[in-house]
Amino acid sequence: MEDLWAILSSIIVVVGLLYVVCIGWSIPFSFGKAVGIWAGIILIKFIKNVIFD
């Protein structure tokens, strides 16, 4: 259950930060794009953990 909260909180933080950056630079914000970027970051971390652990 703790892993689920960690995942949800990381989604909220990343999407929130992307939203603020997009508003600041007048970039059209897309929730799908934000989730895609978050998923890519998580995938890279997962692959790194598999390779180096």
Boundaries of every domain in the chain: 2-52
Quick one: tokens of 46? 């997962």
CB atoms closer than 10 angstroms to residue 34: 19
Q: What is the pLDDT along the chain (53 residues), one digit of tens a residue?
A: 667 787 777 777 777 777 777 676 666 767 777 777 777 788 788 778 777 76
Q: What is the pTM of this model?
A: 0.45
CA separation for the pair 37, 17 (Å, rounded): 12
Q: What is the DSSP string of the chain?
A: -HHHHHHHHHHHHHHHHHHHHHHHTTPPP-HHHHHHHHHHHHHHHHHHHHHH-
